[in-house]
């Protein structure tokens, strides 16, 4: 390639020659060239849809100048005759070149290309042009795609660093302005600086699938040479000196060469961009002034993870999307062994583990390596984990970045422990060496492991790698004498996997034995060796679903765990029944500020049974108030019905200045998802009985029954992403005094011109209604909330500030009109359209019908400030049935607002990108 860099236009002019050698046994009529830079061309590419799916709006809202594309000027073959090529709208990130002759096995063909690469802004993926006038480049040029099993591998760019290029030799000549420097992991050949305006750099690389380029005004990279490889890095850490950096880099590089194999290239780059794209998630990411780790340790972890990632990606010739688990397994396994060798005593919480304040927390006792298991288990307990062997692009973001990556390393470490720490290290080295001679795949790695092992390890690939089956063992019977222990094991999930049994005496391991519980009635006998406790999977080698049932005392008959109180949150402790507590502060107009204490058992990992008790004191009312909830979750691993939740909750607060309400809510909820975990469509079916007892109030004169019980059934179907949102919900309510049905459809669309449309259609009708008040009627602008579902600050207020609180429910109008309720039926349409950023125009129309009255046509319009959708919004009425509201007296009392203080609700704004 001859590449001329234009830093002002953010373009690369490329003249490229490709000698394609058909090393397969197939006859080729086409050649596929990856063109991943063109994935940034518009808002409808697969990459753009991926951004939308993960709620990243930066790409959709970006200007044309920030996007990237590839413009092919000409493409010819050996004799410079033009070749046909095609790029489809569905697959804009690769082109298919149609050869004018058949390319037989072992034949070669020359392709000549001229094209212009428009580089995108680095704010999308961190690669691209930056704000300092430089560029960081990866996957920017046209490259032959990987050929395997008789086909070219055709992958879309999903920003996953998994381009499937053919193994190639590169010769690259790059022309850049003199005031800029260039850093690359290719080998340097020459530098021509005779021209006063620009310099020409020449590089080469053999047996590679890709390379990186960094063009900067001021070179931020430093070079370290340990005698076998040049390391160029710009990882940021101003608090450690060059000597410390050199020691750490040499230690990591030497370790990788010792346990994996010699790096095949002369140079490797380890950039801050590489790290930022795939950081080590944990407490090391905290700001330095509160970090529990030393600065040199943080740098070491960051460098270790990034170096190993680049080391393996540049050395292994796997399909990086289909066989991604092999990369992850070797990387994390090597990191774990490195930590065991060099930082064996380092804790997950670093220096915090030594503070007396945290000594009672289980999380402070975990070693640094033990945290990997908990990140995986976080997803397994949510029933969101995925098979390690699944293609990388099918993983939800948290699995792709964290959970599956860590579980892959844990799984390889598990196999290593089971095979006595001998077979796996040798297999990794042999597989690594195999990759220096051509393409490989996961089955080559599996074949090496299987051949070297004297034990049958088919279960490892079938269960651990290619399924999401969970492992869970418990003791079904334990007896002991002074010298021996007899026990049997219950396999709770029916999934076979070998498991280690430990004998513990005063927290010290006195024996460890691997068992293979293949039959249900197997009885095992081991020498006791003075153990006072027998434990399954004590060091968590096996990625086991539940460790709370893994131990038995050999001293006491009782299996009861003592209670343990901890402030705020903690990890699950298998030795205790944990009760967590935290102060709470709530508010409503009638109770005033309501301080309390929340007692619960919700540790960081989800568990089947949860309780949450929150007694509180209402300062304004001078009475006790509060809430409680008890729930049982049942997960289904291999079904679209993936969760059933049984619960009962209670709330006791004031609903008027002089009256309280007690709500009891027994409920069952069925949650349904698509087989594709990345599909954002979610469905639920809910059935509950809402029982409300209200004290009578002198302020409330609606003639409604103070006490009532309502059966409620709902079905919801939602599919949401950045560009499109669609939801549908039906609701049925039955009680002694009324029965009603309603339905709601909501649609949101972000158009290519960045304008946004919101539509909501609501319709409801009474099946029967013998009540004599509007308490249970449909509300036009605000529901009465007789089910006490909404967080209304002043639910009984009809005037004043709190009456202006808006809830998107029932009629959904913003103007307060008369009649405000419908006791027969109602149909409304709510719409809003963004005219600039978060400023929108809204309009509502609808009909409502009351007994003995004709239908009423309602309408309103105004301006909506959609600052954070559904969480913080303001509505300014302009025109409605009331006339020009903006010119009427006390206009400030007509403004409506949405404010949500619930941390749990706000957190979903961030977690939706990951789960």
pLDDT in tens, 388-398: 999 999 999 99
555-570 pLDDT, tens digit per residue, is 865 556 788 888 888 8
Among 87, 94, 90, 209, CA closest to 155: 94
> Could you tell me the CA-to-CA distances from 35 to 32, 39, 72 in Å, in that order?
9, 8, 10
Identify the band that residue 507 occupies on the pLDDT scale cut at 50, 70 and 90.
confident
What is the pLDDT, as a whole number, of residue 832? 96
What DSSP string describes 457-506? Answer: -HHIIIIIIT----B-EEEEEEEE-SSEEEEEEEESS-----EEEEEEET
Identify the band that residue 232 occupies on the pLDDT scale cut at 50, 70 and 90.
very high
Percent of the chain with pLDDT over 70: 98
Segment 687-714 shows an average pLDDT of 91
What is the pLDDT, as a whole number, of residue 86? 96
Strands 222-225 vs 230-233: parallel, antiparallel or unpaired: antiparallel
> Could you tell me the CA-to-CA distances from 203 to 183, 185, 213, 269, 744 in Å, in that order?
11, 9, 11, 14, 62
Q: How many angstroms separate the CA atoms of 745 and 828, rounded? A: 11
Q: How many angstroms separate the CA atoms of 182 and 176, rounded? A: 8
What is the pLDDT, as a whole number, of residue 285? 63
> Could you tell me the CA-to-CA distances from 567 to 363, 603, 630, 666 in Å, in that order?
13, 11, 20, 29
703-742 pLDDT, tens digit per residue, is 778 899 999 999 999 999 989 999 999 999 999 999 999 9
* pLDDT surpassing 70 at residue 332: yes
CB atoms within 10 A of CB 456: 9
> Could you tell me the CA-to-CA distances from 872 to 56, 242, 790, 805 in Å, in that order?
20, 49, 15, 11
- Among 80-89, 564-573, 820-829, the least confident range: 564-573
648-685 pLDDT, tens digit per residue, is 999 999 999 999 999 999 999 999 999 999 999 999 99
Q: How many angstroms separate the CA atoms of 298 and 162, rounded? A: 27
What DSSP string describes 690-723? Answer: EEEEE---TT--S---SEEEEEEEEEEEEEE-SS
273-301 pLDDT, tens digit per residue, is 999 999 998 766 666 667 788 899 999 99
Q: State both tokens at 745.
A: 């459809």
137-194 pLDDT, tens digit per residue, is 999 999 999 999 999 999 999 999 999 999 999 999 999 999 999 999 999 999 998 8
* pLDDT surpassing 90 at residue 576: no
pTM, two decimal places: 0.93
What is the pLDDT, as a whole number, of residue 563? 85
* pLDDT surpassing 60 at residue 357: yes
Mean pLDDT of the chain: 93
Segment 88-98 shows an average pLDDT of 96
Q: Greater confidence, 914 or 58?
A: 58
Q: Greater confidence, 823 or 366?
A: 823
Q: Which helix (H) or strand (E) holds 380?
A: helix 371-381
Q: How many helices (H) and strands (E) does the chain have?
A: 13, 47
Among 16, 316, 317, CA closest to 141: 16
What is the pLDDT, as a whole number, of residue 649? 97
Q: Which residue reads 């058909």 in tokens?
A: 22
* pLDDT surpassing 80 at residue 519: no
Q: Greater confidence, 654 or 518?
A: 654
Q: How many angstroms separate the CA atoms of 210 and 170, rounded? A: 9
Q: Which helix (H) or strand (E) holds 763?
A: strand 756-769
Cβ atoms of 186 and 172 closer than 8 Å:
yes
């Amino acid at each position: 390639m001859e590449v001329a860099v234009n830093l002002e236009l953010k373009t690369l002019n490329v003249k490229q020659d490709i000698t394609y050698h058909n090393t397969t046994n197939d006859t080729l009529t086409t050649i596929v060239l990856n063109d991943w830079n063109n994935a940034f061309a518009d808002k409808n590419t697969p990459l753009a849809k991926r951004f939308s799916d993960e709620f990243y709006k930066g790409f959709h809202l970006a200007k044309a100048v920030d996007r990237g594309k590839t413009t092919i000027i000409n493409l010819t073959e050996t004799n410079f005759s033009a070749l046909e090529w095609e790029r489809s709208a569905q697959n804009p990130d690769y082109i298919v070149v149609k050869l004018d002759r058949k390319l037989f096995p072992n034949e070669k063909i020359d392709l000549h290309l001229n094209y212009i690469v428009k580089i995108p802004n680095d704010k999308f993926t961190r690669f691209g042009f930056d704000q300092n006038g430089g560029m960081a480049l990866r996957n920017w040029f046209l490259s032959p795609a990987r050929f395997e099993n008789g086909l070219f591998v055709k992958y879309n760019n999903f920003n996953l660093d998994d381009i499937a290029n053919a193994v190639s030799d590169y010769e690259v000549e790059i022309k850049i302005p003199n005031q800029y420097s260039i850093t690359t992991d290719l080998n340097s050949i020459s530098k021509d600086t005779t021209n006063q305006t620009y310099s020409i750099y020449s590089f080469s690389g053999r047996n590679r699938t890709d390379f990186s380029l960094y063009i900067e005004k001021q070179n931020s990279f430093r070079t370290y040479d340990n005698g076998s490889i040049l390391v160029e890095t710009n990882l940021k850490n101003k608090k450690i000196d060059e000597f410390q950096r050199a020691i750490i880099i040499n230690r990591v590089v030497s370790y990788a060469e010792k346990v994996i194999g010699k790096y095949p290239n002369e140079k490797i780059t380890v950039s801050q961009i590489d790290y930022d794209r795939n950081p080590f998630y944990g407490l090391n990411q905290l700001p330095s002034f509160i970090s529990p780790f030393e600065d040199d340790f943080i740098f070491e972890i960051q460098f270790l993870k990034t170096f190993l990632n680049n080391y393996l990606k540049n050395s292994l010739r796997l399909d990086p999307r289909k066989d991604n688990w092999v990369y992850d397994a070797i990387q994390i396994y090597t990191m774990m062994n490195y930590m065991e060798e060099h930082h064996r005593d380092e804790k997950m919480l670093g220096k915090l583990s030594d503070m007396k304040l945290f000594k009672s927390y289980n999380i402070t006792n975990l070693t640094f390596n033990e945290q990997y298991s908990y990140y995986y288990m976080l997803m397994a307990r949510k029933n969101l984990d995925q098979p390690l062997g699944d293609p990388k692009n099918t993983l939800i973001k948290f699995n792709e970045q964290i959970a599956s990556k860590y579980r892959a390393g844990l799984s390889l470490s598990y196999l290593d422990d089971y095979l006595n720490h001998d077979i796996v290290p040798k297999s990794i080295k042999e597989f690594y060496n195999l990759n220096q001679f051509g393409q490989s795949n996961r089955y080559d790695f599996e074949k090496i492991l299987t051949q070297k092992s004297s034990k049958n390890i088919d279960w490892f690939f079938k269960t651990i790698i290619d399924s999401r089956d969970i492992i869970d063992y418990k003791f079904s019977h334990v007896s002991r004498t002074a010298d021996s222990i007899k026990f049997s094991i219950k396999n709770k999930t029916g999934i076979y996997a070998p498991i280690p049994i430990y004998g513990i005496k005063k927290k010290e391991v006195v024996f460890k034995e691997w068992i293979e519980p293949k039959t249900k009635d197997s009885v095992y006998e081991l020498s006791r060796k003075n153990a006072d406790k027998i434990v399954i999977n004590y060091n968590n080698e096996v990625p086991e679903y539940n460790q709370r049932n893994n131990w038995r005392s050999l001293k006491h008959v009782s299996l009861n765990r003592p209670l343990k109180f901890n402030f705020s949150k903690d990890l699950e402790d298998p030795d205790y029944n944990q009760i967590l507590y935290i102060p709470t502060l709530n508010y409503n107009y009638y109770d005033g500020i309501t301080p309390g204490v929340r007692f619960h058992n919700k540790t960081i990992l989800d568990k089947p049974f949860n309780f949450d008790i929150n007694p509180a004191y209402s300062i304004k009312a001078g009475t006790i108030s509060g809430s409680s909830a008890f729930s049982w979750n049942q997960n289904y691993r291999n079904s679209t019905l993936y969760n059933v939740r049984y619960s009962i909750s209670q709330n006791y607060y004031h609903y008027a200045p002089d009256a309280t309400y007690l709500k009891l809510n027994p409920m069952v909820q069925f949650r349904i998802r698509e087989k594709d975990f990345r599909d954002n469509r979610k469905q639920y079916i809910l059935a509950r009985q809402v029982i409300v007892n209200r004290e009578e109030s002198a302020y409330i004169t609606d003639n409604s029954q103070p006490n009532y019980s309502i059966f409620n059934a709902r079905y919801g179907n939602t599919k949401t992403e950045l560009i499109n949102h669609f939801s549908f919900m039906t609701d049925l309510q039955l009680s002694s005094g009324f029965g009603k049905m309603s339905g709601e459809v909501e649609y949101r669309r972000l158009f290519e011109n960045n304008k946004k449309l919101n539509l909501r259609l609501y319709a409801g009708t009474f099946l029967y209604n013998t009540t004599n008040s509007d308490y249970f009627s449909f509300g036009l602008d605000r529901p009465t909330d007789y089910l006490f579902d909404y967080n209304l600050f002043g639910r009984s207020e009809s005037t004043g500030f709190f009456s202006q609180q808006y809830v998107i429910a029932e009629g959904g109008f913003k103007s307060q009109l008369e009649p405000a309720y419908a006791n027969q039926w109602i149909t409304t349409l709510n719409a809003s359209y963004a005219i600039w950023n978060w400023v929108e125009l809204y309009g509502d129309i609808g009909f409502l019908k009351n007994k003995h009255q004709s239908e009423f046509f309602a309408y309103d319009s105004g301006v909506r400030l959609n600052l954070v959708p559904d969480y913080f919004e303001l509505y300014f009425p302009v025109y409605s049935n009331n006339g020009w509201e903006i010119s009427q007296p006390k206009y400030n009392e007509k403004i409506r607002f949405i404010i949500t203080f619930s941390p749990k609700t706000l957190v979903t704004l961030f977690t939706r990108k990951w789960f």
